[in-house]
Structure 1
């Protein structure tokens, strides 16, 4: 599975720590005088001893301090907002910078007891996160679960019969117009592979979309981004939760868009979803014309990435 976010590069000194996480163990260094230390190093910062050994610990501790980041620390983390950044004080006394999972922002507090979560990333890296001691969050996040949204194992709900609205009943059609938006659609991942395929198909292979290394160095977004046209096309793969069914027509014609905007980028590897509202209904010579405003968002972002006022003609 693809993963678009930075991953650690173990050094000779830190390799035992990262190897421990891959084995789903928290391992810390301890000197011959009994002092625990973290981050990994060649000597004890308390007494200067170079007689260090790696030892397995429980990983239990408490939140020492935290912050809820509502602006991504890197563009690649756009789809994880808000980020729950914390410093955890392990029972051995060392402090570890981390992120919290399985907890709502308003439930976090200084002193909250936490336990480790081993987050296996695609490839060969495991990250250490923490969750409240009494949380039902699993202690291991599998690599395939880290790379894609969790899928529900519950049986599919029976299909509900939607209220039917005759397209020739103008008052009923106009009653669908609303300032409020629908629920969210399903989520899909916009991977670098998908972006590359679109670039090849469309001929738009500009480096800001297709060259991750150059984008990291030179792009104002810090990473490659999806083509706006690609994100718009992906609307057809998003299952909008329709709350009505239009009837009484012989044909539906996609009449185009009254407005199409790309307000914010979609970084490669992020997930998107969409919602809609009925913006306008009017009678025209050929039938009934409906304008549906569809907003596509990166998951976790308030500002949309695509705004499409889609015009449909019911004939």
Structure 2
């Protein structure tokens, strides 16, 4: 885990890769629960037998939005902020792309770059670029600009 001791240190990291998250295994159970939570039961996600027959990957693939939902976990498990930071809030997303499908059963991790730090009333807005890599794939499965407000 990368510890960032102060807001000044945080500001100095703009434009740099700051951390790499631990590997996270994507299971069929997670995908099924996500499908239940969102109502997205498309067969490519939840029907392993059909996916084995019909998909090039030979199995089910995770929802893109499930991959996206892992970004806060990747950040919080990879970076700790010093005592000056009382609270972090998800402010939204800018550009998001899913360049490759994520096969269920594989592991993913995030390469975390602090693209920008901007002053906002009462705090800072951080623009993180998170590139989600999947073991065994050349292309990332997600690349997103994740905006976090830091107070």
Category of TM-score, reference length = shorter chain: 0.7 to 0.9
Which residue of the partner structure matches residue 164 of structure 1?
Answer: 5
Whether the 8 Å contact between 1:184 and 1:240 is mirrored in structure 2 is no
Which residue of the partner structure matches residue 14 of structure 2?
Answer: 177
How many residues were matched structurally? 150
Please give the residue correspondences for 1:226-241 in structure 2 after superposition, counting only pairs within 5 Å: 226-238=62-74, 240-241=77-78
Distance 1:206 1:251, change over 3 A: same
Q: 3-state DSSP class of the match of 1:273?
A: strand
Pick from 28, 46, 50 the counterpart of residue 192 of structure 1: 28
Which residue of the partner structure matches residue 301 of structure 1?
Answer: 137
CA-to-partner distance for each residue in 1:252-288, whole Å, 9 max, x for gaps?
Answer: 3211111222111111111112220100111234532
Q: 3-state DSSP class of the match of 1:197?
A: helix
Structure 1 CA distance, aligned partners of 2:138 and 2:83?
A: 33
Whether the 8 Å contact between 1:240 and 1:276 is mirrored in structure 2 is no
Structure 1 or 2: larger helix share? 2
Structure 2 CA distance, aligned partners of 1:190 and 1:284?
A: 36
Please give the residue correspondences for 1:218-257 in structure 2 after superposition, counting only pairs within 5 Å: 218-238=54-74, 240-242=77-79, 245-257=81-93
Q: Point out which structure has higher relative CO (alpha carbons under 8 A, 6+ apart).
A: 2
Q: 3-state DSSP class of the match of 1:248?
A: coil
- What's the C-alpha RMSD, in Å, of the aligned pairs? 2.5
Structure 1 or 2: larger strand share? 2
Please give the residue correspondences for 1:32-181 in structure 2 after superposition, counting only pairs within 5 Å: 162-166=3-7, 169=8, 172-179=9-16, 181=17
Q: Can you give the 5+ residue segments of structure 1 that lack an aligned partner in the other structure?
A: 1-158
Which residue of the partner structure matches residue 268 of structure 1?
Answer: 104
Which residue of the partner structure matches residue 208 of structure 1?
Answer: 44
Structure 2 CA distance, aligned partners of 1:164 and 1:283?
A: 18
Q: Can you give the 5+ residue segments of structure 2 that lack an aligned partner in the other structure?
A: none
Whether the 8 Å contact between 2:18 and 2:114 is mirrored in structure 1 is no
Whether the 8 Å contact between 2:4 and 2:10 is mirrored in structure 1 is no
TM-score, structure 1 as length reference:
0.42
Whether the 8 Å contact between 2:19 and 2:113 is mirrored in structure 1 is no
Whether the 8 Å contact between 1:182 and 1:241 is mirrored in structure 2 is no
